[in-house]
Amino acid sequence: MIKPSGRESAFAGRELGIVVALVAVVVAATIARPSFLSGQGIHDLFLNASIIGLLAIGQALLVITRNIDLSVGSVMGLTAYLSGQLFLVDKDLPVIVVVLAGIGMGALCGAINGALVAIAKVPALVVTLGTLYVFRGIDYAWASATDTTQINAYQMPQGFLDLGSGAVLGIPNLTLITLVVLGLTAYALHNFRAGRELYAIGSNPDAARLAGIPTGRRVFSAFVVSGALVGLAGVMHAAYFGTINASVGTGRELAVVAAVVVGGVAIFGGSGTVVGAVLGALLLTTVTSALPILGVPAFWQRAVDGAALLVAISLDRAFMVRLAERLRAERAVRRA
């Protein structure tokens, strides 16, 4: 059974490369514009990476099990819109109720995806590609039925908006939330049996099943947890930006998958950490912020995620081929 090695794996291999690349991008951007590394610049950078980081943590759980969720952008938009609608109904609604409602909605969407994948045995790529459009359609239908194409900041309580824009000791609230979720998830993957079994499923689903691991239940749970984190990200998006419409989260799925794979979570499953996924989100967010400063035209910025994803998958494939060759050579030596 594959078990992540905690701190050693967090700073080894590609994750160490991410840190080096991150430093290089920051240095280049700071040389071009010294204010990039100012207190406000760092604050904005971590704030912008926090929501993608939350999405990446949930996505990493799925990719580790050889699955994927392409509906994250739509689920995020749906939960963000839910947050606004709840305050339209009752502006005095406690913020914690709205947060829990968003998490619950995300978990429900994750459960739908998980049931189709784990119980109906439909490939995750097919399921989530379909629900991407289904959930987005529900979002637009809801906006049309309520005749509310956009919800603005003045329609939401200040306490909710402060959750998104506030900070503790200079650290944005959203960043603190992401760090807490990251710590809990990393601890669970490393120390809990259920977390370690996700790696076993991703490494070899058939062997995991023969070993008595409840693969269907574990995959279903991973989809539910991932959906809950997407729901939390949707609520945080609403609190941070204060303006919500039915198109929130469109296209986020590519950025999230790219962050996870760039962060060292193998697209073929079985290896990687959520720490690496969050580092990947931070790196891609930093690159996106640095490109305009370095004079790169705006239309190239969207291409960065796709290029990073292709490079990361190619590196994974090359690594797997080399590993297979080394294992074959070792077996040959033993037989000799």
The tokens for 105 are 């909605």
Share of residues in the chain with pLDDT > 90 (%)? 52
Question: With contact defined as beta carbons under 8 Å apart, do 277 and 59 qualify?
Answer: yes
pLDDT recorded at residue 299: 67
In whole angstroms, give the CA distance from residue 112 to residue 180.
26
Q: pLDDT digit string (tens) for 186-203? A: 999 999 999 999 999 998
Share of residues in the chain with pLDDT > 70 (%)? 92
Q: 327 burial class (0-12, 13-18, 19+ CB within 10 angstroms)? A: exposed
Q: What pairs with residue 171 in β-bridges?
A: 168
Neighbours of 128 (CB within 10 A): 27
Non-local (6+) Cβ contacts of 231 within 8 A are 75, 76, 79, 102, 103, 104, 105, 106, 107, 109
Higher pLDDT, 15 or 195: 195
What domains, with CATH codes, occur in the chain? 7-335 (1.10.3470)
